Amino acid sequence: MSTPAKERIALLDIVRGFAVLGILLMNIRLFSEPSAAYLNPMVYSAHEGANKLWWSIQYFLADQKFMAIFSMLFGASTAIICDSLANKGLPVALTFAKRIFGLLIMGLAHAYLLWSGDILVFYALGAIAPFLFRNARWWVTASVGTLLLAIGSVWSLLGYHSFADLSAMVQEEIAAYMWLPPMEHLQHEVDAFQGGWLSQQPLRAEHSWYFHTDVFVNWGVWRVTGVMLIGLALYRAGFLRGALSTKAYATIAAISFPIGFALVTMGYLNNEAANWAFPYSMFAGSQWNYWGSLFVAMGYMASIAVLLTATRFRFGFTALTNVGKAALSNYLFQTVMCTGIFYGHGLGLFGQLERWQTAFVVLAVWATQIILSTLWFKRFKQGPMESLWHRFTYARWL
């Protein structure tokens, strides 16, 4: 999100940079191997040795945690933008609608032309929720957000019980479509994304449509909008403005991390015991991390706030700030760089690396983004896509 420089909140920029780098820890799975492997470690690569270690690190530290931070920041940015528009006497609803329409256009172009794992469309579709609650009391907003999350959780558990009652043969047929595809399906995906841009397009469009319809309706609408509202509430309550005391932030971190990682660990152990089988791991087994990731995300943000407000620790904060001020640009740049590495119009390494080897790609992309962001903000005040988005939002011809 873009905010005028004089109004920027240091904590938000650092957290935003932290999140945009961290999200690559998960997205690298979709960039580098068949999509079913994003949730199921038993797909395509061997779940053992260094591969298992890297997958487990991603699961514990990143899976849904950084997406949760992004969603919270989107909720907070809704309040920041709408407050600013109201203070300037500008039409709030119309300007915000143009802003979200611009985001939707970028998201659709990103998804259907470059990479089907796009999340911007989810944010554009879910933006109505924080907009409607932008002036509500923070505890009301937090309660509604929690309710939406709970509905999504119940929906997933109902899905588990409905599939668990089916015969083993039917379960295997369904799992082959969405959880554990046969090798010929996986190879078809590998062949498609190792091809040129045009040959990738049919499968990319198919995946994007599925993500923006089935996944959004059954998961995203509850998860994304619920966490957006919690982020809006955290901003109004002062948490995301850096307005709480150091003791409060330290207490939140001390409570959030143990709860969050305990839930995540229980989920990991239960799924390992179930051998990541369908339908348990896809539905019921995912609920531990569904809730645990929220607490871990809170712990991450509270810890950064403690370092920022109560210590002299500043190592990497400037780099994170630069990345965070151009979060949208950096998010899209990750797609350009990673598809250039893994897809056929670039190096064509899709499905060719061992899972653990993608850790080095993550480090290389991070280093590139930090360097480019630092150089960019020596000359400019906004990221390139942020500037374009700003111009679109405030264009009078609209």
Please, where are the H alpha helices in the chain? 10-22, 24-32, 49-61, 65-87, 92-113, 120-126, 128-132, 138-164, 168-178, 183-193, 197-210, 221-236, 246-273, 287-310, 317-325, 327-342, 358-376, 384-393
CA dihedral 189, 271, 27, 305 (to 10 degrees): 170
Q: How many Å separate Cα 146 from the centre of its chain?
A: 18
Q: What is the pLDDT of residue 397?
A: 64
Over the chain, what is the mean pLDDT?
Answer: 94
For residue range 238-287, list pLDDT tens digits in order: 999 999 999 999 999 999 999 999 999 999 999 999 999 999 999 999 99
**CB burial of residue 375 (10 Å; 0-12, 13-18, 19+):** exposed
pTM score above 0.75:
yes
Task: Examine residue 239 and state whether it is found in any structural domain, yes or no.
Answer: yes
Q: How far apart are CA 52 and CA 138, in angstroms?
A: 41
Task: Examine residue 398 and state whether it is found in any structural domain, yes or no.
Answer: no
For residue range 150-191, list pLDDT tens digits in order: 999 999 999 999 999 888 888 888 888 889 999 999 999 999
Task: Examine residue 117 and state whether it is found in any structural domain, yes or no.
Answer: yes
Range of the domain at 231: 5-248+313-393
Q: How far apart are CA 107 and CA 110, in angstroms?
A: 5
Q: What is the pLDDT of residue 378?
A: 95
Task: Examine residue 95 and state whether it is found in any structural domain, yes or no.
Answer: yes
Q: How far apart are CA 398 and CA 395, in angstroms?
A: 6
Average pLDDT over residues 392-397: 84
Q: How far apart are CA 350 and CA 132, in angstroms?
A: 42
Q: How many domains does the chain have?
A: 1
Q: What is the pLDDT of residue 144?
A: 98
Q: What is the pLDDT of residue 1?
A: 47
Number of Cβ within a 10 Å radius of residue 63: 25
Task: Examine residue 258 and state whether it is found in any structural domain, yes or no.
Answer: no
Task: Examine residue 99 and state whether it is found in any structural domain, yes or no.
Answer: yes
Q: What is the pLDDT of residue 151?
A: 97
Task: Examine residue 301 and state whether it is found in any structural domain, yes or no.
Answer: no
For residue range 34-77, list pLDDT tens digits in order: 999 999 999 999 999 999 999 999 999 999 999 999 999 999 99
DSSP state of 8: -
Task: Examine residue 228 and state whether it is found in any structural domain, yes or no.
Answer: yes
Q: What is the pLDDT of residue 168?
A: 86
